[in-house]
Amino acid sequence: MVEITHKNTTLRTAIAEGIVKVSKQETIDAINNKSVPKGDVFEMAKTAGLFAVKKTSDMIPDCHPLPIEYTAVSYEIDGLSVRIRLEVKAIYRTGVEVEAMHGVSVVALTMYDMLKPIDKGVEISNIRLVAKEGGKSDWKKYTDQGLCAAVIVCSDTISAGSKEDKSGKIIKGKLEGYGVQVSDYIVIPDEIQDVRNALENYVRKETNIIVYTGGTGLSVRDITPEALQDVLDRRIPGIEEAIRSYGQERTPLAMLSRSVAGVKGKSLVLALPGSSKGVEESMDAIFPSVLHLFKIFKGARHD
């Protein structure tokens, strides 16, 4: 199956439709009157659809088992056609589109099976996805806002040329993937004044996002949080909590994270871990949803 452990858990919704067409009005009348020999067509088919949604991963090899939290089936009769509509919801890391379409397919097949003794002309058609929410595509409106960023690597060893930077390059790649232009990428010593000087420089340039990596551990030389937290206009605890919560689900060591998030002037300031794994998980935890902050900024300035 496809790797999804890096994704955030969100509310996922999908709606699928399908059409069952019969060949005569008598079949529609029998459905409405519940006089089909095999039983109540709508209720039996609905029950089959509910089972199908929950069993999708047993039938489709690449589908992940999902904690399905809601399924609804409805019908609409239009002439000799019955339109099936099925909605699925789950709070998980991957979407429920296939579950919705699988459910509709089984509802339609159940109707076909129940109606075939009284109508040899039943047809199934137009099984399709109508809508989906909760996935990466929902966040496109937050990307490509024309934002610019500076990536600052805080490390004595890297600045001295004794070690190669990996974390800063990961941040740069992630930001560019979300349509954020990285205007600067620098390496500085992990010193309080160097950290603050860089902050003041990029705030003065009105850089939208200023991301530090490194200097957030617990050793005596890791001073980036101390350098930043007292000079920010305000902290954003929710971002810090999201980073730690996401990391904690993947490694117990995340409880030691001292990531910092806040605002200085018109800039979002982030101080992330120095390890490549830690910084990648931190970026996955908050992007692209954190870019909504700039929609808020624009709204506040507009008002």
Q: In sequence order, which residues have a C-beta less than 8 Å from that of residue 177 and are 6 or more positions away?
A: none
Whole-Å CA distances, 6 to 93, 284, 287: 9, 7, 12
The beta strands (E) that lie in 79-180 are given as 81-92, 123-133, 148-154
- Report the catalytic residues: 113
Cα distance between residue 155 and residue 167, in whole Å = 11
Whole-Å CA distances, 301 to 147, 155, 295: 16, 36, 10
Cα distance between residue 65 and residue 158, in whole Å = 44
Are the C-beta atoms of 109 and 19 separated by less than 8 Å?
Answer: no
Q: Letter for the amino acid at 114?
A: M
Cα distance between residue 129 and residue 196, in whole Å = 51
Cα distance between residue 73 and residue 47, in whole Å = 9
Rounded to 5°, the CA angle 149-154-156 comes to: 150
Residue with tokens 């991963």: 57
Q: CB burial class (10 A; 0-12, 13-18, 19+) of residue 43?
A: exposed
Cα distance between residue 35 and residue 130, in whole Å = 31
